[in-house]
Amino acid sequence: SGLGEGIPRDSKAADRVAAEDDKSWRREGMVDAAVLRSQISDVCASPDCGLQLMILCTIHGLCEEFMMYKGVTTSSGIAQQVPSGKRDGLADLAKRPNFKKKNPNLILAIGNLRSLGFKESSHQYISQVSRMASAEDGCGSRVANWVRTSLGSFSTTDVVLLHQFVQMLLLRAFLARDKLANVVNEPKSAGTYTVGTNAETDSTYGGGGKKK
C-alpha cells in the first residue's frame, strides 16, 4: 500500500494531486524513501526550508530502514503501531507548518508528537538533529549518524510514529512546491543542502543495538 511508490512526475498527474482538496499526503503505509528523497531534492525553497526538508528525508529513510528490519512494512503492520485515532492526530499536526514562510519550522514540529505519546527521551534525541546539521553546514553523515543512533534507542512505536509524521510533512511539501519556490527571490533546490553522499544508506540495523 504505497510501498515503492513516489509522487507522480507527470506534470498533469502532479497537477491533479496538487488540487486544493487533495489528501494524498495522508496516505497510509510506506512511500519509497529513495524515490521521495529524489523528488524532494528537486523542490526549490528557502535555505531554512531546503535544509529542513533534507533532514526530514534522512529521518524518513532511516525510519524506513529500521521498520524493514523490524518487519513493519505493510499498512496493517503500521496501523498496529499507529491506530486510526492516533493517525488522525498525526494528520492534524502535519497540517500546522505554514509553507508560505521562509522557515516553516519543520524540525520543531516533531516536538508536537509528544501529545500523541512520542516519548520525551525520543524527542530530546531527535531535536538535536538541527545542531548536527549546523555543525556540518548541511545534511550529511553527521546528521545521518545521529538519527541512526537515536532510532536505536526508540521503541518501534516511536519510530513508526516519527516515520508516518515525517512522511506526511514531505508529501505536503511536495504538493506545496510552488508556494515554497515563491517564498524567496532566488530559491535553491533542497538537494543543494546535502553534504557528501547519501550516508544514511551506508549501514543497516542488522548489527544489533538496543531495540524494543
Q: Residue 184 has what pLDDT?
A: 87
pLDDT value of position 62: 97
3-class DSSP string for 74-112: CHHHHHHHCCHHHHHHHHHHHCCCCCCCCCCCCCHHHHH
Distance (Å, rounded) from C-alpha 35 to C-alpha 32? 5
Asked if residues 163 and 64 have their Cβ atoms less than 8 Å apart, the reply is: yes
Give the pLDDT of the chain (212 residues) as one tens digit per residue. Answer: 343 444 444 444 444 444 434 678 988 889 999 999 999 999 999 999 999 999 999 999 999 999 999 999 999 999 999 998 899 999 999 999 999 999 999 999 999 999 999 999 999 999 999 999 999 999 999 999 999 999 999 999 999 999 999 999 999 999 999 999 998 888 899 999 998 864 444 444 433 333 33
